Every structure is written in C-alpha cells, then in structure tokens.
Amino acid sequence: MKVSYYPGCSLDGTAIEYNKSLQSTARCLGLELQELPDWTCCGASSAHVTDDKLAVSLAGRNLLIADKMGMDLMVPCAACFHRLKSADKALKAGGSLQGLEQKYQGHFKIKSGADLIWENIGERALAAKIKKPLAGLHPVCYYGCLTVRPPKITDAPDPENPMAMDEIMRTLGAEVKNWSFKADCCGGNIMLTHPELAKKMVKKLLDMALEAGADCIVAGCPLCQSNLDTRQREIMDENGQPYHIPVYYFTELMGLAYGDPQVENYLNKHFTEAKTLLKQKDLL
C-alpha cells in the first residue's frame, strides 16, 4: 500500500525518533510512505494567528503537491495535521492560494499517523507482524487536542474519545488503561510563553495517568510528547511529588513489538528515562 507522507519540521528535527520509528514500522507493515517532494513548513504554529491567507497558502502549497500524487496523505505531527486539514477545508470552501495558480482538487484523505495505520492497515495485518507482544505494559494513550478538535476541521468521529492508538496498543498486547483525559490539552506552545500555566496542565495529565493505573503514556504528537516528557523533573522539583512516567511515541512501541533493532536508539533521545520499564517487563 502506498500513501503520501508529510513529515513536517518537527519530525526532521526534535522528534526525529518519531520519524525513524514510523518509517521502520511502515516498512514492516508493507506501507510505502512517499514523502512529498520539496515540502515546506505548513505554518504551524504561528501563521494562523498572524495572517489567514498566509496560513492557508503555506499549508496549501503542500496540499497541491499531495494533490498531484493522488494518494491518501499521512501527517503524523498533530499541529501539521491540523493546519493541513484547516487549509483543505478553506480551499474547498472557495479560499485561494496566494501566488499559486493551480486549482486544488483535494481528492484524497488527510489522516494522522495512528488513524491511517489503524484504518488502512487494520487489526489482522498489525497482529500478524508481532514478534514480541507488549504483555504487561499498562499505558494510557494521549491524543492531545489538534488531531481531534474541532471536529468540523478534523472530522474526528468521536473527538472526546479517539481510539486509534488504543486499538493499536491492544492489538500489540498492551493492557491499555481507560482514562478521561486522552484529548485534554497539555499546554502546547504556551509552554514557551506561560510555562507555569502549562506545567500545571502537564501535572494534571501525569497525575491522572497515575490515577488510572498507567505505567507509561503513549503519544502521537511531537509537542505533546515533548511537554509530558521533558517537564517531569521540573514539576517534581517544584511540587515534591515523584514522577517517572515514560512517554513513548506509539510507533516506538510498535517497533518494539515488531523487532526493530533501532528501538533503543530512539529511546535514548527521551528526557524521562524510557528503557528501565521495558526491561522490567522483559520487553527490551
């Protein structure tokens, strides 16, 4: 199966372990990711609060490339996904692209990484590739805001209870915990401008994950993963409550289940130590 692929800036930099683990997982599943040639920044996160036409045009340029390729488009970064979906809606409603004459058709689907893998590959194919089931792992799956809300942009069928990562993790053998905070905000970019407020939001998510009985968090968004992963020490120092909750990309755990030999290299990039739990579960 072939799909077009827009990695976005984060997966080429700070979230490169997400990109590499996703690429490896896709190869294992026979999913051919055809990266958009000459893709450029989609404008996340600042263009849409600066200039509406600029926001549509930055994302729209990439949509025109995907239009020519004519395949479903995987967008693993939640912010990029939201900007491309927003531009898709705007263009189909009659919006224009500054400086670009090509007419946008949009005869393809734009999907997040987890949604595309679950919907296009399916449970049977995912289960068939398992070499090491994730038995004994008790994650909560955290989707954040931008892949699900607002549903008029994201087309999420259940924006308060998305399920793709949950289903993938269960298929791989993990004992996924239910919780009511899978689509709550982690603070996003306000971690840069109002860090004290954002850290309170992150603390709530960490507390609720522990209350749900989770031993780790599974994410599919570079910014969400970063906020939850990198701020645990600060929050612990400020509040005196110990936190050590690994925050994995769902693709890293898929790679673990599928025998990707590079998994330890991905996990070495985490701020919150991520290998001990997996060794305790005899998964690494």
* Segments making up each domain of the chain, as ranges: 2-113, 131-280
pLDDT, tens only, 225-252? 999 999 999 999 999 989 999 999 999 9
DSSP assignment, residue 47? G
Q: Give the pLDDT of residue 49.
A: 63
Q: In 3D, which of 26, 13, 17 has the Cα closest to residue 266?
A: 17
> Hey, CA dihedral for 34, 167, 148, 156, is it positive or negative?
positive
Token reading at 114: 């987890």
| Strand order across the beta sheet in which 110-111 lies | 32-35, 2-5, 73-74, 110-111
pLDDT, tens only, 68-118? 999 999 999 999 999 999 999 999 998 878 776 788 999 999 999 999 999
User: Residue 58's CB: how many other CB atoms inside 10 A?
Assistant: 22
Q: Give the pLDDT of residue 45.
A: 67
CA of residue 58 relative to chain centroid, distance: 21
Q: Is the pLDDT of residue 61 over 70?
A: yes
> Hey, CA dihedral for 117, 181, 191, 87, is it positive or negative?
positive
| Strand order across the beta sheet in which 216-219 lies | 139-142, 216-219, 247-249
Query: Any idea what the Cα angle at residue 84 is, between residues 83 and 86, rounded to 5°?
Result: 65
Q: In 3D, which of 140, 211, 129 has the Cα closest to residue 175?
A: 140
Question: Region 255-276: what's the mean pLDDT?
Answer: 98
Assessment of whether the complete model's pTM goes beyond 0.85: yes
Give the three-class secondary structure for 3. Answer: strand
Q: Give the pLDDT of residue 48.
A: 63
Radius of gyration of the chain from Cα atoms? 18
What is the topology classification, in CATH, of domain 131-280? Rossmann fold (3.40.50)
Angstrom distance (rounded) from CA 125 to CA 118 = 10
Q: Is the pLDDT of residue 161 over 80?
A: yes
Q: Give the pLDDT of residue 176.
A: 98
pLDDT, tens only, 163-198? 999 999 999 999 999 999 999 999 998 999 999 999
What is the share, in percent, of the chain residues with pLDDT greater than 90? 90
- Contact 222/18 with Cβ under 8 angstroms? yes
Question: Region 131-136: what's the mean pLDDT?
Answer: 98
Angstrom distance (rounded) from CA 113 to CA 18 = 10
CB contact burial 171-190 (16+ within 10 A = b; e otherwise): bbbbebbebebbbbbbbbee
What is the topology classification, in CATH, of domain 2-113? Glutathione S-transferase Yfyf (Class Pi); Chain A, domain 2 (1.20.1050)
User: Residue 204's CB: how many other CB atoms inside 10 A?
Assistant: 15
Q: Give the pLDDT of residue 190.
A: 93
- Comparing 46 with 113, the larger pLDDT belongs to 113
Q: Give the pLDDT of residue 47.
A: 61
Q: Across the chain, what does the average pLDDT equal?
A: 95
**Phi and psi angles of residue 49, each rounded to the nearest 5 degrees, phi first:** -100, 5
Q: Give the pLDDT of residue 62.
A: 97
Angstrom distance (rounded) from CA 159 to CA 152 = 10
Q: Is the pLDDT of residue 284 over 70?
A: yes
Q: Give the pLDDT of residue 54.
A: 87
Angstrom distance (rounded) from CA 281 to CA 137 = 7
